[in-house]
Amino acid sequence: MNGLRGMIMAMALCVAAPLLAQTAPPTPAAPAPAAAPPAVSLEQAYKKEYAYLQAQKRELSARVAQTRDALERDRGALQNQINALESRLLAAKSQAEALSDELARGGEQAQAAADNRELVNVTIDQARATLAGFGDETLKQAEFATLDASQQLARVFTLAARTVRDFSRLRSETGTFYRADGTQVQGSIIRWGNIAAYGVSAEASGALVPAGGGQLRLWDAPGQSGSDSARALAKNTKPSPLAVYLFENINTAVSEPEAKTIAGEIGKGGFIGYIILALGALGLALVALRTLFLKNAGAAVAPIIDSVLRPLAEQRIEDAIAATKRHKGSAARVVTAALRNLDRDREHLEDIIAESILHESAHLNRFGSFIMVIAAVAPLLGLLGTVTGMIQTFDIITEFGTSDPKLLSGGIATALVTTELGLIVAIPMLLLGNLMGGWAERIKDDMEQAALRVVNAQQEAQFSAATKAA
Q: Which structural domain range is residue 370 located in?
A: 270-469
Is the distance from CB of 208 to CB of 246 less than 8 angstroms? Answer: no
Domain final position from 168, 189, 209? 168
CB-CB neighbours of 332 under 10 Å: 23
Is the distance from CB of 230 to CB of 200 less than 8 angstroms? Answer: yes
Coil, strand or helix: which one is 302? helix
What is the predicted pLDDT for the residue at 222? 53
Write the DSSP symbol of residue 403. S
Residue 431 reports pLDDT greater than 90: yes
What is the predicted pLDDT for the residue at 427? 93
DSSP letter for each residue of 222-271: TT---HHHHHHHHTT---SS------S-TTSPPPPPPPP-HHHHHHTTHH
160-207 confidence digits (pLDDT tens): 888 777 776 777 888 888 887 778 888 888 887 777 788 888 888 877
Measured CA to CA, the distance from residue 300 to residue 447 in angstroms comes to 10
> Are 231 and 284 part of one and the same domain?
no
What is the predicted pLDDT for the residue at 211? 78
Measured CA to CA, the distance from residue 289 to residue 269 in angstroms comes to 28
Domain final position from 153, 168, 183? 168
Q: Which residue has the higher pLDDT, 53 or 217?
A: 53
Mean pLDDT of 409-425: 83
Of the pLDDT bands very low, low, confident and very high (cuts 50, 70, 90), residue 424 is very high
In a domain, 333, yes or no: yes
> Are 408 and 326 part of one and the same domain?
yes
Residue 226 reports pLDDT greater than 80: no
> Are 301 and 447 part of one and the same domain?
yes
In a domain, 14, yes or no: no
What is the predicted pLDDT for the residue at 258? 61
What is the predicted pLDDT for the residue at 212? 72
Alpha helix (H) residue ranges in 134-172: 142-145, 149-167
Coil, strand or helix: which one is 209? strand
What is the predicted pLDDT for the residue at 426? 92
Residue 31 reports pLDDT greater than 60: no
255-277 confidence digits (pLDDT tens): 665 666 777 777 777 888 899 99
Coil, strand or helix: which one is 355? helix
297-307 confidence digits (pLDDT tens): 766 676 777 77
As separate numbers, helices (DSSP H) first and strands (DSSP E) second, the chain gives 13, 5
> Are 247 and 275 part of one and the same domain?
no
Give the type of residue at 338: A
Q: How many domains does the chain have?
A: 3
Residue 154 reports pLDDT greater than 90: no
Q: Which of 15-29, 276-290, 363-377 has the highest mean pLDDT?
A: 276-290
Q: Which residues pair with 196 in a beta bridge?
A: 192
CB-CB neighbours of 458 under 10 Å: 22
> Are 236 and 319 part of one and the same domain?
no
Mean pLDDT of 347-375: 81
> Are 162 and 202 part of one and the same domain?
no
Q: Which residues pair with 197 in a beta bridge?
A: 191, 208
Residue 20 reports pLDDT greater than 60: no
Q: CA-based angle 380:384:437, to the nearest 5?
A: 15
Residue 9 reports pLDDT greater than 60: no
Of the pLDDT bands very low, low, confident and very high (cuts 50, 70, 90), residue 4 is very low
> Are 281 and 199 part of one and the same domain?
no
What is the predicted pLDDT for the residue at 89? 92
In a domain, 326, yes or no: yes
What is the predicted pLDDT for the residue at 124? 84
> Are 224 and 149 part of one and the same domain?
no
Q: Which of 96-110, 128-142, 432-446, 450-464 has the highest mean pLDDT?
A: 96-110
Residue 224 reports pLDDT greater than 80: no
> Are 110 and 240 part of one and the same domain?
no
In a domain, 242, yes or no: yes
Mean pLDDT of 382-403: 81
Is the distance from CB of 277 to CB of 262 less than 8 angstroms? Answer: no
69-108 confidence digits (pLDDT tens): 889 888 888 999 999 999 999 999 999 999 998 899 888 8
In a domain, 213, yes or no: yes
> Are 414 and 357 part of one and the same domain?
yes
> Are 251 and 352 part of one and the same domain?
no
210-219 confidence digits (pLDDT tens): 877 778 888 7
Report the candidate in 327, 323, 338, 333 with the shortest Cα–Cα distance to residue 363: 333
The pLDDT mean for the chain works out to: 77
Q: Which residues pair with 212 in a beta bridge?
A: 215
Residue 37 reports pLDDT greater than 70: no
In a domain, 265, yes or no: no
Coil, strand or helix: which one is 49? helix
In a domain, 17, yes or no: no
Mean pLDDT of 347-376: 81
In a domain, 27, yes or no: no
What is the predicted pLDDT for the residue at 64? 92
Domain final position from 257, 278, 304? 257
Measured CA to CA, the distance from residue 226 to residue 393 in angstroms comes to 38
Mean pLDDT of 324-333: 74
Residue 135 reports pLDDT greater than 80: no
pTM of the model: 0.47
> Are 305 and 424 part of one and the same domain?
yes
Write the DSSP symbol of residue 147. S
Coil, strand or helix: which one is 15? helix
Mean pLDDT of 410-422: 82
Is the distance from CB of 272 to CB of 384 less than 8 angstroms? Answer: yes
